């Protein structure tokens, strides 16, 4: 009988990841599961190297856990079947696939190959969903601050509204995609996306295909509006309908992306915050 090595993140899902991981028992044969706390490992690469014949890894956590996994095992040969069971609070990767945690574990091998890489503030990382720059980075930074002082779930929608109303000031941006540079004023969002959604269900680039044969990413530039107009358009991003506002939302596709802001703001990589950023660059495996 096959054995499933469940590598769970107890910190996912607002600290309920350990209990949520037990939900996988509904989908796997009784007696076939071995649980391992991923936070006790030096890295996911340690767990992959330790696999014995007949053992299959199951990653349990949210988008941040998946990001850690893809970077820990970068360059390694992986088993033929790597499974994922979502226990995060946002689960944007699953949202993009049209799945929910209650659908059970999903094989992810094809989705974690040939991923794009972002370079920012001297750091280089693979990413699975997207790199957010602008008010989305501000939301992650503010969410981290709230989480550090409270054990209550973070309401990112409320944070975004606060940011749109007064806390976040739009920037001027220079966006270069495959060698062509464009400049924009009053930019609120400028993410580079490997998938369609991020931020707990925002379909920032509804036309993006994470299995694009050309491995392109999509860059959304949401700009040129005042606070009230932006606040009116912003909710439509949860259905991907913001792109209909072509005067204010532009989507560019390419294999090489650089975004520069005229002042520092926070940035997020699959939900993990990087502060004090003025520039990021993305290269895809096509490059």
> What pLDDT digit, counting tens, does each position of 213-222 carry?
999 999 999 9
Residue 167 pLDDT > 90: no
- Integer Cα distance of 126 and 192 in angstroms: 12
- Band of residue 143 on the pLDDT scale cut at 50, 70, 90: confident
pLDDT at res. 191:
97
- Integer Cα distance of 16 and 10 in angstroms: 6
For the chain, give every domain's residue range.
Answer: 3-111, 117-283
Q: What angle do CA 45, 47, 7 make, to 5 degrees?
A: 115
What own/partner pairs with CB < 8 Å and gap ≥ 24 does 105-112 have? 105/24, 105/27, 105/28, 105/58, 107/81, 107/82, 107/83, 108/59, 108/66, 108/82, 108/83, 108/84, 109/78, 109/80, 109/81, 109/82, 110/211, 111/210, 111/211, 112/66, 112/69, 112/70, 112/78, 112/82
* Mean pLDDT confidence for 237-256: 96
Residue 147 pLDDT > 80: no
- Integer Cα distance of 92 and 61 in angstroms: 12
- Band of residue 7 on the pLDDT scale cut at 50, 70, 90: very high
pLDDT at res. 151:
73
pLDDT in tens, 39-49: 999 999 999 99
- Poorest-pLDDT segment among 17-31, 83-97, 158-172, 263-277: 158-172
pLDDT at res. 15:
85
pLDDT in tens, 152-162: 777 777 888 88
Shortest CA distance to 147 belongs to which of 15, 17, 287?
15
pLDDT at res. 213:
94
- Integer Cα distance of 111 and 196 in angstroms: 13
pLDDT at res. 72:
97
pLDDT in tens, 196-208: 999 888 999 999 9
* Superfamily for the 3-111 domain: Probable inorganic polyphosphate/atp-NAD kinase; domain 1 (3.40.50.10330)
pLDDT in tens, 80-95: 999 999 998 889 999 9
Residue 287 pLDDT > 70: no
Share of the chain above pLDDT 70, in %: 99
4 beta partners: 33, 56
Per-residue b or e along 258-277, where b marks 16 or more CB atoms closer than 10 Å to that residue's CB:
bbbbeeebbbbbbbebbeeb
pLDDT at res. 164:
84
**pLDDT top residue among 144 and 116:** 116
Please give the backbone phi and psi of residue 97, each rounded to the nearest 5 degrees, phi first: -85, -5
* Mean pLDDT confidence for 53-67: 95
Q: Across all residues in the chain, what is the average pLDDT?
A: 93
- Poorest-pLDDT segment among 18-32, 33-47, 143-157: 143-157
Architecture of domain 117-283 in this structure: Sandwich (2.60)
């Amino acid at each position: 009988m096959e054995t499933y090595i469940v590598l769970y993140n107890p910190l996912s899902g607002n600290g309920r990841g350990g209990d949520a991981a037990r939900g996988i028992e509904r989908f796997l044969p009784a007696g076939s599961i071995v649980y391992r706390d991923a936070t006790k490992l030096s890295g996911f690469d340690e767990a992959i190297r330790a696999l014995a014949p007949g053992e299959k890894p199951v990653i349990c956590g949210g988008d941040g856990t998946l990001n850690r996994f893809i970077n820990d095992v970068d360059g390694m040969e992986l088993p033929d079947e790597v499974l994922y069971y979502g226990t995060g609070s946002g689960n944007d990767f699953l949202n993009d696939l049209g799945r929910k945690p209650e659908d059970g574990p999903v094989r992810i091998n094809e989705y974690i190959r040939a991923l794009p890489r972002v370079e920012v503030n001297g750091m280089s990382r693979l990413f699975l969903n997207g790199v957010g720059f602008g008010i989305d980075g501000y939301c992650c930074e503010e969410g981290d601050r709230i989480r550090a002082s409270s054990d209550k779930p973070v309401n990112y929608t409320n944070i975004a509204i606060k940011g749109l109303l007064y806390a976040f000031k739009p920037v001027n941006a220079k966006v270069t995609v495959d060698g062509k540079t464009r400049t924009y004023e009053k930019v609120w969002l400028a993410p580079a996306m490997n998938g369609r959604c991020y931020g707990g269900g925002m379909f920032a680039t509804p036309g993006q295909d994470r299995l694009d044969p050309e491995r392109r990413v999509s860059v959304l530039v949401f700009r040129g509006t005042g606070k009230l107009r932006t606040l009116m358009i912003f909710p439509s991003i949860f259905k991907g309908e913001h792109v209909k506002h072509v005067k204010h939302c532009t989507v560019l596709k390419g294999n090489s992306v650089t975004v520069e802001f005229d002042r520092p703001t926070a940035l997020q990589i699959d939900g993990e915050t990087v502060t004090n950023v003025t520039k990021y660059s993305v290269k895809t495996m096509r490059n």
